[in-house]
């Protein structure tokens, strides 16, 4: 598996096992934090300047709603300064800024087995790879869910590498954008030169019945594009925290994070908890390490952690797992979706086509669950984030032999939105 490093607390793009963006396998061989900066929260902000001055440092910018500051430090001194500051009683906590890495009539719809699996075999766009036939109905019953709702404009935030503005099948769904990555946006194609965020966004909300490309699981949803990963698929814990805060402020009902890091961050967890307390459903990829090792933000209690399955409803070989922390599963192998119509890094590295192609990873599974949550938002009367999460998880389809991999089953959009569930209404 080719491993693509993304940044943050190792914000690792949780996608593309084949196009693999996964948590780096050897934590000792590469730094897990961003050089030249740390995150510090003071018990008394009035003491901050004096405490930092003792170490030759200055106050930094606030990190969203977390109360922490992003402090610039000499490269290579991050861990020493974290340790020193943590001993000061005026400091609530100090921590590294961890590296994060990246989880109809539409002509390509027959390749979207995740939405409707008829046991079909299909190829990638260039027909250089054939996907073997799967098991009929090993899908999320999205088409059946659309008879109840297609999303009703529900806002889903994609906290990722950005969404390409040159892709008509998804760009029209973007209602607001921001950039917290270290990529400078000079040209339209700069919004996503990596390709990951565009693929994830298409899984959520690509338009349907438009004689174009693919359909999203929630084709009536709208997208909030929070770019936190750069052109190499790297980002930071602080950038993700800012992206979460921005999404909440801009009306997100669901936040998808197809990324992750090995080490927990109090700053990131605070942003997650603040969003949950504001009534938002948060969804994240479980990771592509193929082990039960926990990945964040997926492992936080207020996040739905998503593992990946294949077109036979079996656990994907690369998927991280563990019923103690992984909540649910969704298709994540050879998922067909949108890619930028300009050259992008994942396409160059992995031979994927501009416009549309397949990708694998828990990055692809997570947005299916996020989109299902958005469908539930639009189908319930007086929904809360707790009721939406409970509905998504309780209606998942269980398969014998997967009980130790995830706490619930493989997500089923039709069952999640059909209340009460009438016999025969969902396959």
Q: Choose, from 106, 141, 160, 357, the residue flagged as catalytic.
A: 160
pLDDT at res. 175: 97
- Percent of the chain at pLDDT > 90 equals 68
DSSP state of 111: G
Residue 377 has phi, psi (to 5 degrees) of -55, -45
How confident is the model over 195-242, as pLDDT tens digits? 999 999 999 999 988 888 889 999 999 999 999 999 989 999 999 999
How confident is the model over 112-140, as pLDDT tens digits? 666 667 777 767 777 777 777 777 766 77
Q: Choose, from 167, 196, 199, 342, the residue flagged as catalytic.
A: 196
How confident is the model over 248-304, as pLDDT tens digits? 999 999 999 999 999 999 999 999 999 999 999 999 999 999 999 999 999 999 999
Phi-psi region of 66 (alpha: psi -120 to 50; beta: other; left: phi over 0): alpha
Residues in CB range of 420: below 8 A, 6 or more apart: none
160 catalytic per annotation: yes
265 catalytic per annotation: no
55 catalytic per annotation: no
Phi-psi region of 218 (alpha: psi -120 to 50; beta: other; left: phi over 0): beta
The Cα-based distances of 408 to 42, 304, 321, 329 in angstroms read: 39, 11, 12, 8
Q: How confident is the model at residue 339 (pLDDT cuts 50, 70, 90)?
A: very high
Instruction: With a cut of 80, say whether residue 421 has pLDDT above it.
Output: no
Residue 199 has phi, psi (to 5 degrees) of -65, -45
CB 397 within 8 A of CB 410: yes
Q: Choose, from 22, 161, 258, 363, the residue flagged as catalytic.
A: 363
For each of the domains in the chain, give its residue range(s) and CATH number, in order of start: 12-101 (3.30.70.80), 109-417 (3.40.50.200)
């Amino acid at each position: 598996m080719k491993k693509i490093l993304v940044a943050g607390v190792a914000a690792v793009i949780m996608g593309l096992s084949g196009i693999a963006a996964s948590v780096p396998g050897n934590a000792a061989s590469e730094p897990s934090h961003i050089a030249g900066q740390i995150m510090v929260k003071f018990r008394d902000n009035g003491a901050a300047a004096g405490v930092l001055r003792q170490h030759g440092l200055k106050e930094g910018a606030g990190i969203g709603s977390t109360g922490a500051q992003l402090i610039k430090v000499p490269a290579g001194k991050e861990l020493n300064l974290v340790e020193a500051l943590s001993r000061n009683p005026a400091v609530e906590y100090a921590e590294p800024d961890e590296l994060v890495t990246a989880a109809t009539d539409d002509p390509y719809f027959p390749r979207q087995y995740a939405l409707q699996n008829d046991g079909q075999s299909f190829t990638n766009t260039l027909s250089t790879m054939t996907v073997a036939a799967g098991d009929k109905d090993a899908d999320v019953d999205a088409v059946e869910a659309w008879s109840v709702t297609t999303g009703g404009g529900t806002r889903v935030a994609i906290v990722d590498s950005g969404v390409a503005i040159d892709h008509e099948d998804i760009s029209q769904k973007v209602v607001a954008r921001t950039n917290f990555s270290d990529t400078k946006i000079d040209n339209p194609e700069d919004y996503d030169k990596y390709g990951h965020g565009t693929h994830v966004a298409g899984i959520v909300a690509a338009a349907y019945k438009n004689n174009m490309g693919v359909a999203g699981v929630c084709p009536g949803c709208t997208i909030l594009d929070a770019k936190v990963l750069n052109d190499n698929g790297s980002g930071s814990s602080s950038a993700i925290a800012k992206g979460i805060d921005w999404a909440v402020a801009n009306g997100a009902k669901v936040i998808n994070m197809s990324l992750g890091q090995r080490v927990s961050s109090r700053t990131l967890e605070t942003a997650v908890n603040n969003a949950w307390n504001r009534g938002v459903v948060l969804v994240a990829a479980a990771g592509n390490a193929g082990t039960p090792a926990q990945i964040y933000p997926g492992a936080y209690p207020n996040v739905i952690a998503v593992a990946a399955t294949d077109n036979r409803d079996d656990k994907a070989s690369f998927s991280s797992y563990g019923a103690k922390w992984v909540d649910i599963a969704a298709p994540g192998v050879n998922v067909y979706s949108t890619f930028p119509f300009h050259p992008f890094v994942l396409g160059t590295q992995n031979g994927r086509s501009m416009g549309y192609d397949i990708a694998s990873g828990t990055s692809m599974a997570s947005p299916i669950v996020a989109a299902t949550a958005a469908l539930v938002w639009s189908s319930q009367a007086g929904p809360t984030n707790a009721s939406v999460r409970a509905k998504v998880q309780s209606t998942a389809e269980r398969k014998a032999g997967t009980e130790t991999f995830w706490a619930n089953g493989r997500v089923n959009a039709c069952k999640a939105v059909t209340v009460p569930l009438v016999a025969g209404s969902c396959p």
